[in-house]
Amino acid sequence: MADVDDRLPDGVRPRWLEGLGRFGNASRGILFLVMAGLVLGVARGGGGQDAGATGALQEVAEAPLGTVALLVVALGFAAYAVIRAVHVVVVDDEAEGLALVGRRLVFATHAVAYGLLAVYAVMIALGIGGASSGGSGQTTSRVLSWPAGTWLVGAVGVGVLATGVALAVAGGRREFAGVLRDDLTDRVRRPLVVLGAVGHVLRGVAFALVGWFLLVTAVTHDPDQGGGLDQALREVAEEPFGTAVLIGIAVGFAAYGLFFVAVLWAGRTREPE
């Protein structure tokens, strides 16, 4: 899946919008770099901090100049949310019918998710936000108690699993490379493409794991099996092969993060008219 800069027709792709896209992607890159460190903590058998996005923001808050860093990252998330909201309305895409509706739903989901992350980051920076108790596991438990809740959790699991597979396939096909400038030399482009491919594929694997454990939850009716990324990673850590898988995911998150931080410099910009 191509990313921010590559989806708007040239006629509605102003320079400031492309700048927002690169800034937003760089902020996501920083988030995934922090998450990579948290996943390594889980792999080592420690890591009490949530290894998901909200845990990463808490980790940033505890660093030197954490408040300033959080506010900058929050601006980046807000920029990414704006870009995705624009994509919902105006998309240069060959998809039609249900496929186009599906893409717009994905863009809308990204806009909402990163908008909420921006708000959460600002709340932490201002000292009015913090880690919630129970988290996604408690949410899953509540949904399971609803009428047809098991089916709903299963359907979400299928959707997240399918999203993970789609992300991994798109990464393998190098669809993300559209955000890179055309004038990059092969010596620069090739390492960045490899970095991006590793990051996108393993990020897809992480999504697929979350979806798989949600499906297990729906089948077993055990909310301890299903939740967000952090809970899925901790379930994997208990398996014989878990440490190796978690190290691989941490490497993938780091590669994904480095790729999008590099996009600040190597990202596509529109030529002046």
Report the alpha-carbon distance of residue 186 to residue 164 in Å, rounded: 29
Q: Following CA atoms 242, 248, 253, 257 in sequence, which dihedral angle do they give, to the nearest 10 degrees?
A: 160
Tens of pLDDT, residue by residue, the chain (273 residues): 445 444 544 444 566 777 788 888 899 999 999 999 999 988 887 656 677 888 888 889 888 888 999 999 999 999 999 988 888 887 655 666 777 777 788 788 889 989 999 999 999 988 886 555 445 556 677 777 778 888 888 888 898 898 889 889 999 999 888 888 888 899 999 999 999 999 999 999 999 998 898 888 888 877 666 667 888 888 888 888 889 999 999 999 999 999 999 988 887 644 332
Q: How far apart are CA 14 and CA 252, in angstroms?
A: 32
pLDDT, position 101: 77
State how far the Cα of 139 lies from the Cα of 52, in Å rounded to an integer: 15
Assessment of whether the complete model's pTM goes beyond 0.95? no
Q: What is the pLDDT of residue 138?
A: 61
